[in-house]
Amino acid sequence: MKNSRHLNRKELTLKLETIARKARYKMLEALCRAGSGHTGGSLSCMDLLVALFFHEMKHKPQEPGWKERDRFVLSKGHAAPALYTVLAMSGYFRENHLSTLRKLGEKHLQGHPDRKSTVGVEVSTGSLGQGLSIGIGIALGARIDSKNIRVFVLTGDGELQEGQIWEAAMFAGHRSLDNLVTIVDYNGLQIDGYINDIVTLEPLAAKWKDFGWRVLEINGHDYNEILDALEATRQPAGKPTVIIAKTVKGKGVSIFEGKAKYHGIAPTAEELEIARKELLGDGTDQI
């Protein structure tokens, strides 16, 4: 999707910020209807997903099987509501399908991504720690087949406590997979509380560097920083790239921000109304 490339940076960031506000509300609305799902980590990664699908990635929503498309792997599969919303808004399926999220008897939008059920989903995920390994397989296959594509893998920070992540990181560094980009949604919280109180990740940047990766550290809600980092990944570095994106769990709605309890709790109708006012203002004609 390249229709944003003609915009100057100010216009582009404004467009992406507007899309992200709407996407956050649409996603929360779907979660509220479902009465279950993951709120905090879906909100924290929304800006990253919007930048990828509405600007950076090469893809065709009307031709989801296009062979030259870039690939995206949501390794933190519990953030599926964010991915579904972005897929719907970018044209993979109708936005009214979001109302079927996690509904009994509906297979289209399950609690975790299922590539057999949802158009636009490349990989079925949910068991944490596995997405990077899958992304590496795709990237290595593309290299063998001489395909000019990039593979983007979005991981959670708590997910980095899984040993398989580091086995995969070691392999990717050894193979110099410079068509692979990992983005860490580093919001500092997991289901049991603060990352640093459970198993600290620091020094995180140094670890990735030691495994042979190019490391970019950004504010994961600042579109200038997000876009700069993504643009940098277009230039091969002879090694894979990791973007460590510092984010806020529950970003965009004050009552959810920085609170671990909203990791896996859907918003109530009252909370959704607060979110609507904060994200969209007093009117709903902006949706």
Strand ranges for 71-179 from DSSP E: 71-74, 151-156
Q: What are phi and psi of 218, to 5 degrees?
A: -140, 170
286 found inside a domain: no
The mean pLDDT value for 50-56 works out to 98
Residue 77 has pLDDT above 90, yes or no: yes
Per-residue confidence (pLDDT) for residue 286, from 0 to 100: 52
Instruction: State residue 204's pLDDT score.
Output: 98
- Domain range for residue 175? 9-280
pLDDT-based confidence at residue 164 (cuts at 50, 70, 90): very high
The CATH number that applies at residue 243 is 3.40.50.970
According to the model, what pLDDT value does residue 104 have?
A: 84
pLDDT in tens, 203-214: 999 999 999 999
Q: Work out how many domains the chain is built from and give that number.
A: 1
> Is pLDDT at 12 greater than 80 in this prediction?
yes
Whole-angstrom distance, CA of residue 42 vs CA of residue 185: 10
pLDDT at 263 over 50: yes
| Residue 86 dihedral angles phi and psi, to the nearest 5° | -65, -40
132 is a domain residue? yes
| DSSP conformation letters of 58-88 | ---TTSTT-TT--EEEESSGGGHHHHHHHHH
Residue 250 falls inside a structural domain: yes
- Rounded Cα–Cα distance for residues 111 and 108 (Å): 10
Task: Using pLDDT thresholds of 50, 70 and 90, give the confidence band for residue 107.
Answer: confident
Residue 55 in tokens: 């600007």
Let me know if residue 4 belongs to a domain. no
Q: Is residue 1 part of a domain?
A: no
- pLDDT of 59 strictly over 50: yes
Residue 119 in any domain: the answer is yes
Which helix (DSSP H) or strand (DSSP E) does residue 216 occupy? strand 214-219
* Length in residues, the chain: 287
Cα(224)–Cα(218) distance, integer angstroms? 10
Return the pLDDT at 285: 46
What mean pLDDT comes out for the span 1-5?
61
When pLDDT is cut at 50, 70 and 90, the band that residue 287 belongs to is low
Average pLDDT value for the chain: 95
| Amino acid at site 234 | R
Instruction: Establish if 259 belongs to a structural domain.
Output: yes
Residues 6+ apart with CB under 8 A from 240: 139, 172, 173, 176, 177, 178, 180, 181, 182, 212, 213, 214
* pTM recorded for the entire structure: 0.95
Quick one: pLDDT at residue 283? 56
On whether residue 3 sits in a domain, the answer given is: no
Check: CB of residue 178 under 8 Å from CB of residue 239. Answer: yes
C-alpha 118/C-alpha 30 separation (Å) is 16
Q: Which of 218, 274, 251, 219 is nearest to 40 (CA)?
A: 251
pLDDT at 2 over 90: no
Q: What percent of the chain lies above the pLDDT cut of 90?
A: 92
How is 250-285 classified by DSSP, letter by letter?
A: TTT-TTTTT-GGGSS-PPPHHHHHHHHHHHHTT-ST
